[in-house]
Structure 1
Amino acid sequence: MGHLDGRIALITGAGRGIGEAVARYFAAEGARVVVNDLGVDIDGTGADASVAETVAASIRADGGAAIANTDDVADWDGARRAVASAVDGFGDLHVVVNNAATERNLGLVDMTEADFDSVVGVSLKGTFAVSHWAARFWRERFEAGERVDRSLVNTASGSGLLNPLPTQTNYAAAKAGVAAMTLIHALELGRYGVRVNCSSPSMVRTRLTENVAGMPQPRAEGFDPTAPVTSAPLVAYLATAECGLTGQVLSMRGSTVLVNRNWSKGPHLSKGEELWTVDELAAALPDLSPDDPFQTLAAALDGALGSRLGEEGRAGVRRMVDAALDAAAAGRG
């Protein structure tokens, strides 16, 4: 008996990387899976219908149940069709894993409107659109008298929650928005028996991250903490009918699971019912010891990649950021 026996799941962006690993893991645990993937390049261009079908066919060859879907989740009607494909193909829908994402990494001064809209359209609008149509179906079934556990599992990222990275205005903003939507939708959809949670993988080796400096190569033997499958057990647990969690944003790195608690309140100043002056704030705010974003980034990268940026100070981190921005702009041509 698998943990997902009888569950029907739609997984977006399931043709490669984390989505593929989750789709295969779900099928091995007994779920019937819709493998949604448009088959685009990393930047969202192009399309290849064989990407989704290859994964679905492989799952079927291994004895699982899977169908392919190539609808664009960033398209309103495409998101509706993706949800309908699960209902039409398997008769119901219990789980949605919103995983589809693209990247166009550029600095603010080089990023175009199209660069911003494309990435936000897939990660943020795509999550919203698929969730909307799934929720509409689930509300309909609930009002018809069904009392079945339903689960939405969104996908955020460390870039957006813990360490927003230079060149990722679009991606980080989208992923932070996904985390916020998770909390809102958990509150809104509870009335229909729907739980909403979010997985936030970090330092996972996919085609979006394989060229990141310091990303380890795959391990031939033993546990590989950067393999895409490391995200799958958490997503599977959140998808089980027995899971009671909702409204949680959980970071996953290797075998470490971390509970995120939104933006947390730090030290504060108050004048009671008096209005501050600019001079008073200029004198008082430095005493609160606000975080330096350069040092915060250095600490995050040192921990993830084993670098020693923290020892180089603010100037060293600025040089690294400037070099990354220049390289991204040069790559655009």
Structure 2
Amino acid sequence: MGMLEGKVVLITGAGRGIGRGHALTLAAHGAKVIVNDLGTSLTGEGADKGPAQEVVDLIASRGGEAVADVEDISTWDGAANAVAHAVEHFGRLDGLVNNAGIARPSDIADLTEADFDALMGVHLKGTFGCTVHACKHWRGRADAGERVRASVVNTASDSAFFSTPSDSAYAAMKAGIQQLTMCAGRETGAYGVRMNAVAPRAYTRMARYLIPGFEIREADSYTGEESPFDPSNASPLVAWLLSDDSAHVTGLLFRTLGGGFARVSGWQMEPIIFPKDGSSHFAVEEIGRVLNTEVFGCAVRDIPIDFAPGDPRAAAGTKDSAAGRRS
């Protein structure tokens, strides 16, 4: 029996790339999969039912269960319909993988409102919409007395913490998804829902923007071959996060690379520095000195220097200076 036997999982953007790898991996471990993919171009234009149905057919040929869904999850109704489709077809929903994404690289000065809205719609609104409607379903089951054991896995990105040029809008959307994961992961536990995020590194059609001419191969084309370029390298971690084995894990972010993975800590805050005289705030004129000395560590500190016995500078009470500072 597979780790996900009997579980029903909705995966958005599952017709190609990383989402396709997730769908094939989850199905291989017993999950019933809703393969959601509108079939747009990389920039989010057009529609094609082919990619979603191709993955469904491939899963069926391997003995799994799957159904295609071509709802546009960048709309609130589309997200609701995708969740409803899963429940209507399989009778329940146990997991959600928010993976759908598009790319519209642009220098920040050239970004258009249409580009911003398209990125926002698929990445941030789409993730929120599917999560909201899935959580409504799960909370309703919990309110009816059922013990819910559900899991959401969001797709974050290196761009949010190792941002690349021409990626500001995309990175902003992914940072929002990461924050949603950390915050909502605390809320949804009340009715049995966990939420985590994975930032996968893989060579999909998005890689063409970074590596012109790179040969794009789909996840199932690496069968029997180990490759750091395989889009399904992150899928085992996603499968585990959807399983009951990870029932104690929520609100966390993971990065994957070439089959390996690491936990990524959230926003880190250094110790707060308060005025030493008990004031309620620093004077404007003090801010630079405090930051330079206490935070940046890049300023000369006005501290006494220890001198060897007999050194005439000791008697003069010389202070630390650019010329006399100890190394």
What TM-score do you get using the length of structure 1 for normalisation?
A: 0.82
Query: Does the aligned pair in 1 maintain the 2:138–2:148 contact within 8 Å?
Result: no
SS at match of 2:138: helix
Amino acid at match of 1:55: V
After superposition, residues 88-237 of structure 1 pair within 5 angstroms as 88-160=88-160, 162-202=161-201, 204-213=202-211, 222-237=225-240
* Equivalent in the alignment of 1:248: 252
Query: Does the aligned pair in 2 maintain the 1:14–1:100 contact within 8 Å?
Result: yes
CA drift of 1:54 comes to: 1.1
CA drift of 1:120 comes to: 1.5
After superposition, residues 216-295 of structure 1 pair within 5 angstroms as 222-244=225-247, 245-266=249-270, 269-272=273-276, 273-274=278-279, 275-287=281-293, 288-289=295-296
Query: Does the aligned pair in 1 maintain the 2:3–2:243 contact within 8 Å?
Result: yes
CA separation in 1, counterparts of 2:41 and 2:292? 45
Query: Does the aligned pair in 2 maintain the 1:205–1:215 contact within 8 Å?
Result: no
- Which stretches in structure 2 are left out of the alignment for 5+ residues? 299-327
CA separation in 2, counterparts of 1:109 and 1:211? 18
After superposition, residues 41-80 of structure 1 pair within 5 angstroms as 41-80=41-80
Identity rate of aligned residues, in percent?
40
Q: Which moved more, 1:112-121 or 1:130-139?
A: 112-121
Query: Does the aligned pair in 2 maintain the 1:209–1:215 contact within 8 Å?
Result: no
**Number of matched residues?**
289
Amino acid at match of 2:286: E
CA separation in 2, counterparts of 1:131 and 1:267? 34
CA separation in 2, counterparts of 1:9 and 1:111? 35
CA separation in 1, counterparts of 2:152 and 2:83? 12
CA separation in 2, counterparts of 1:214 and 1:269? 47
Structure 1 runs, 4 residues or longer, greater than 3 Å off? 213-222, 266-270, 272-275
CA drift of 1:285 comes to: 2.5
SS at match of 2:54: helix
CA drift of 1:276 comes to: 2.6
Distance change >3 Å, CA 268–CA 185, structure 1 → 2: closer
CA drift of 1:278 comes to: 3.5
**1:267-319 Cα deviation digits (max 9, x unpaired):** 6643244333343323342343389xxxxxxxxxxxxxxxxxxxxxxxxxxxx
Amino acid at match of 2:127: T
After superposition, residues 22-37 of structure 1 pair within 5 angstroms as 22-37=22-37
Amino acid at match of 1:168: D
Amino acid at match of 2:283: T
Amino acid at match of 1:205: Y
**1:198-254 Cα deviation digits (max 9, x unpaired):** 11113x101011442499767977521221111100000000022121111111111
* Equivalent in the alignment of 2:304: none
Distance change >3 Å, CA 252–CA 68, structure 1 → 2: same
After superposition, residues 281-320 of structure 1 pair within 5 angstroms as 281-287=287-293, 288-289=295-296
CA separation in 2, counterparts of 1:66 and 1:252? 26
Q: Which moved more, 1:277-286 or 1:98-107?
A: 277-286
Query: Does the aligned pair in 2 maintain the 1:7–1:30 contact within 8 Å?
Result: yes
Q: Which moved more, 1:64-73 or 1:271-280?
A: 271-280
* Equivalent in the alignment of 2:303: none
Amino acid at match of 1:174: M
Distance change >3 Å, CA 74–CA 290, structure 1 → 2: farther
Amino acid at match of 1:289: F
SS at match of 2:244: coil
What TM-score do you get using the length of structure 2 for normalisation?
A: 0.83
CA drift of 1:264 comes to: 1.1
Distance change >3 Å, CA 290–CA 30, structure 1 → 2: farther
Q: Which moved more, 1:35-44 or 1:204-213?
A: 204-213
SS at match of 2:232: helix
Amino acid at match of 2:292: P
SS at match of 2:78: helix
CA separation in 1, counterparts of 2:169 and 2:106? 9
SS at match of 1:229: coil
CA separation in 1, counterparts of 2:147 and 2:213? 45
Amino acid at match of 1:180: Q
Amino acid at match of 1:201: P
* TM-align CA RMSD: 2.1
